[in-house]
Structure 1
């Protein structure tokens, strides 16, 4: 019979040694930056920014996991790696030297709002969301271990 506070009942990434957990935070942040950069413009040309919403959703979920796994240090590593990927790609170091985050079309272009500003929203949102989550109470980031009943296979 195991106790409820047994680390064996936590998710896989929470049971790893500290260096592995920190590496997971870094890699998940980089993955979020890459995937979000590819997705953030979906629907922007129709002024329905569903790609931006999905990109922010994965930032929120991944940042929550990083903070619940390693606290403020995990959140900081996640923020650094995700923003580094996003801002590096924006600077034109992407494939072929093209920027994947178009910004600054100018006021003369008659484009929908999100066609003009989805890039700006993504660039600043990927930094702002983790900073906001840094200020939230620690109790919101607790991963409750499964109970013994949850660990049993269903019959």
Structure 2
């Protein structure tokens, strides 16, 4: 069974994107907090825990990479989805999973997936679904059609 409350922190300096994504995620049962900068995200993260944090990698000021490093220093197991307009910032969820260079190093964390902007909302739901319902013995025998997230994905296809 899925948790009743699935908390997401959404971090991007584009207020329009943040607003739209927050609305969509809330309509599908998520509790969403937003931040328009890395420093604001750290303040929110310090006060609350989240099942997943969605982070834009190429923000001005504190970059998404620096934010990820700071979050991981505090909470090494924090689930993160990275988003970026620049495809060579990280490995993408539908790629061959070869680490790609970015300014300052390589984002090569096997548990961080990345979506290239612009992305389809169904692809974001697929990544959230992977985090929300990890493959485990607990899910064996449960038909796919019982998953709310899978139903949402089918509607968006």
Structure 2 length-normalised TM: 0.25
Please state which structure has a larger fraction of its residues in helix: 1
Please state which structure has a larger fraction of its residues in strand: 2
Q: Which has the larger radius of gyration?
A: 1
Structure 1 length-normalised TM: 0.25
Higher RCO (CA 8 Å, separation ≥ 6 residues): 1
